[in-house]
A and B are shown apart, each in its own frame.
Chain A
Amino acid sequence: MKKYKDEPVRRRERDRYRDRNRDYDEYSEDDRYDQGEYEERMDRYDRVYEERRKSSGKKKKGRKKPFSIVFLSILFTCLLGSMLFYVCEYSVVNKEKLINNSYNGRQQILLSQNTRGSIMASDGTVLAKTATDAQGNEVRQYPFSNEFAHVVGYASQGRAGVEAMANYYLINSNVSIAEKAKDDAAQQKYPGDNVYTTLNTKLQEVAYKSLGVYRGAVVVSDPKTGAILAMVSKPDFDPNEIDQEWKTLVADKENSELLNRATQGLYPPGSTFKIMTSLEYIRENPDTYQNYRYNCTGSFTHGQDTIKCFHGEHHGQLDFFGSFAKSCNSSYANISMTLDRSSFKKTLTELMFNSALPLEMNYSKSVAISEPSTSDSDIMQLAIGQGTTAMTPIHLNMITCAVANGGDLMKPYLIDHVQTATGKMVRQFDAEEYKRLMTQNEASILTEMMKGVVQSGTATKLKGLSYTAAGKTGSAEYSNLTSDSHAWFTGFAPAEDPKICVTIIIEKAGSGGEYAVPIAKRIFDAYFGA
């Protein structure tokens, strides 16, 4: 049977038709009423009507279907739909960022409802907690005082470090509703969620103590996961005293204690930058780099510019590996003259120079300029990490991690997981691959070269230990007026299966081999229990 669009109307109409026109419709004289037959009959009438209309030549009065209405209905519905999608997406993606904004008054609501949660080291040691003092005021306490100052940060006078990164979790409370009801009854605030970091208290202590009175920074991380195990910056401050000391700290432009040098300090990378120069040379000469030879006489002159080796040493006959191990400036100045500048620029961009790093904390962008228009003199300076070249310790640590991890950079992270006060998991952060910085082959060549530095180069203080270390030293000159230099070391161990990656800078100490390598040794020893 044919289905009619106006079925209900038709039914109503049919009933009326049957009731009112009994005398007219001969079919209704029969009391039995068969719908099928009725429909058939109606169809027949309609057909006849159509035929007659056609044969009479009259055109049916055209009633255009208003498709424009359908079209606009769909259009507006899609418009509204995309807007609603945007609302959901935007607010969910940016929720943490928005709640952390200092203009957002909702923070105050959360703070009045919940006690700020604690920050823990990976082994559960408390790094920061909120306690109530004798007067009933809430006080933020940092049991390790200066040791974790920069990485854990502070939560009054603005926020920094983990206190800033994890603020959203610390001020929210996800304890069960029953717990909340209990707190309500006791007229207590709800306990904020606790944040467990990746920090290792032992390594942090060794790194902190090793730096001693020097200024500088240490970053220790796990190359396979990106977990940051320790982060030290000196000079430091006591976060327990932040409110009292704030004015002095801000006013002190010379020491900048508040600056986290590990992520924000921009230093000339010196010889550690030869890792990048070497990578570029290998990329440009994949088959012939081993044939490279150079005879070092203590300096390299090109035009009017002369590059001298550190403390005027004469390295003699060197191959590519030897140049790296001995950290021969003259040889690298020589190499730099053969490099293609746009290709070097591409490599540097891939290594995240002059661009953003995958970090959630405040950091500075490293600078390394290689343009087709760059002068020969500047390229020579670039190749040995001097001139305008500047780098943050965390960035160097990330590149070293990538070398150690077969070319793959894992995203550095500090927050491992978040738990409620009662131990229920709120969120787990997993290791995340960021991107590939170099091929596996390039990474293994660089690893070999860095092993050479330990075996026969500038970092022999790490030789002959229970583990094989690999790394690169640097002695970066920071001023033309003095021969003093920043001491650098970046490296990892064990070389065969890297588990820990260390980057150290000590300001104005001297050579990397003398000052930075021993600290690396202490950290490695602490980690491997030697």
Chain B
Amino acid sequence: MELYITELSRYLICFLMAAYAAVSFLVFGFKDEESRSPLYIFQNILMLAMQFFCFLQIETRTGQISYLFFYAFQLIVLMATIILFHLMYPDGNRLIINNMCLLLMVGMVMLLRIDSAKAVRQFIIAVCSIVIGFLIPQLIYRWKFLKKFTWIYAITGVCALAVVLILGSVTHGSKISYSIAGVTFQPSEFVKILFVFFMAGALYESTSFLQILITGVFAGAHVIILVASKDLGSAVIFFVVYICMIFVATGNPFYLFAGMAGGAGASVVAYHIFAHVQVRVQAWRDPWSTIDSTGYQITQSLFGISSGGWFGLGIFGGTPTSIPYVEDDFIFSAIAEEMGIIFAVCLVLVCVSIFLMFMYQAYKIRDLFYRLIAFGFGVMYIFQVFLTVGGGCKFIPLTGVTLPLVSYGGSSVLTTIMMFTIFEGLCMLQTEEQNAAIMRRKRRRRESRDSYEEI
């Protein structure tokens, strides 16, 4: 009986996830939120079913009663988030909220399997973040003056990173966290938001060559400090976001190509200067020859991804804990191993749908500042997903960034939820913009009707 339950739920979870991912893309076939509504509800049902079968599997394999409470709390929080957001912000985008809840759910199931204490911590942080997140769309909608703090964002960002570089503690060989009163922060996560606001503000003011040079200086400062802290992943993300935002603001492909060329040049220089970059690249090119030292992590990750097969070994059926730091950088491998490659791939597809929704909104918003923010967050998000998943499967060298919302990490979860809720605020602004446009057109028509009748 036990075996039938675990086997059956293995397949069902994959099937539900595939359906969920498909619906995430189907949403784009409908123009407005109203007509997408049935799809969103369908998504919620799929997610709840998935969660149910995950916990069913966990319970049959472990028999821990305490996990049932965790399930109940999770269920309440997720449902409350989805329903309350819809009630409070009817003009917001429900795809982002649904996907956010799904990613949190998958992350917590996986963390529970790896280390239940961490899952509980992650859950508490997520709840706090969601509460904060409820306020953010209002603030974005009301505080139009956010456009004006351009240089404050930049200076705060650089200072925060510099403080960590000087005073921060070392985790996994990188100086990226800083403790205040026992709570550990990773400022580079929050600086991501500031950085996008800074870039958007600066490019909103002007897209002249001079302005681009000045932003380049500040962006460079961010990147250099991050490289000095050995936080290569974040450095690359900041750089890519900088290039892409300039390209979109100016519409000039020259900046994109120049940026790519510059990035390639900088990578070569970094490779020759920094020993840890060389180690990472070596471990990527041939992890098998150094399987017991620098190649250990990546080979264990590859073992994890491949051993699960299409449908996975089932939760608690594999050995994801054999991968060092699995809950941070290699959560994708753990998911692939226990929930299957199909599930893991669909999870990334869900991330892609989030990215596309960001792009779609960025395309629709007319105000350059808000457009750039939506765009910047989208690129930042998808590129981080690319770095962590690509690094874990030996597609690109390992950079050590987290899978947003799924990996363990309070700062990362809070930052990502803030990004998503800021995006909700942008959706409200866009609706307002649209209404204003309608009003303008109405006025125009009245004018022309009057004159038409004169004729």
Chain A contact residues, CB within 8 Å of chain B: 6-9, 13, 17, 24, 42, 44-46, 48-49, 52, 63-64, 66-70, 72-73, 76-77, 79-80, 83-84, 86-88, 90-92, 94-95, 98-99, 101, 103-106, 108-109, 177, 180-181, 184
Contact = CB atoms under 8 A, between A and B. Distances in A.
Interface stretch (B164-172, B244-252, B406-414): B244-252
Interface string B292-331: 1000100110110111010001000111001000000000
B251 A103 contact: no
A49 B348 contact: no
A525 to B, nearest CB: 47
B371 A66 contact: yes
Interface stretch (B85-93, B194-202, B274-282, B386-394): B386-394
Given A49-B448, A184-B2, A69 B442 contact: no
Contacts of B95: none
A66 B306 contact: no
9 contacts: A8-B32, A42-B445, A49-B448, A66-B371, A69-B362, A80-B352, A84-B348, A94-B306, A181-B4
B382 A90 contact: no
Interface string B320-350: 0010000000000000100001001100110
A268 to B, nearest CB: 33
A80 B396 CA distance: 12
Interface in B376-399: 379, 382-383, 385-386, 389-390, 393-395
Nearest to B390: A83
Contact of B379 (A45, A72, A86, A101): A72
A64 B341 CA distance: 42
Contact of A98 (B296, B302, B352, B452): B302
Interface of B: 1-4, 7, 31-32, 34-35, 244, 247-248, 251, 253, 291-292, 296, 299-300, 302-303, 305-307, 309, 313, 317-319, 322, 336, 341, 344-345, 348-349, 351-352, 355-356, 359, 362-363, 366, 371, 375, 379, 382-383, 385-386, 389-390, 393-395, 434, 438, 442, 444-449, 451-452
Given A8-B31, A68-B251, A101 B319 contact: no
A387 B193 CA distance: 72
A86 B444 contact: no
A109 to B, nearest CB: 6
A83 B383 CA distance: 12
The prevalent SS among residues of A at the interface is helix
A291 to B, nearest CB: 55
A101 B299 CA distance: 10
A184 B375 CA distance: 54
A9 B389 CA distance: 40
Given A8-B31, A8-B34, A69-B362, A88 B345 contact: yes
Nearest to B348: A84
A77 B356 contact: yes
A48 B448 contact: yes
Contacts of B306: 90-92, 94-95, 98-99
Contacts of A76: 355, 379, 382-383, 386
A98 B363 CA distance: 44
A66 B434 CA distance: 17
Given A45-B449, A103-B292, A106-B303, 6 more contacts: A6-B434, A52-B451, A66-B248, A72-B248, A77-B356, A105-B303
Contacts of A95: 306-307, 309
A74 to B, nearest CB: 9
A503 B438 CA distance: 88
The interface centre, meaning the residue of A42, A77, A87, A103 with most chain B CB atoms within 10 A of its CB, is A87
Contacts of B4: 177, 181
Contacts of B336: 87, 91
Given A8-B34, A72-B247, A87 B303 contact: no
Contact of A91 (B317, B341, B362): B341
Nearest to B250: A68
A63 B434 CA distance: 14
B303 A98 contact: yes
Nearest to A101: B303
B168 to A, nearest CB: 31
Contact of A66 (B251, B300, B382, B385): B251
B322 A72 contact: no
Contacts of B386: 76, 79-80, 83
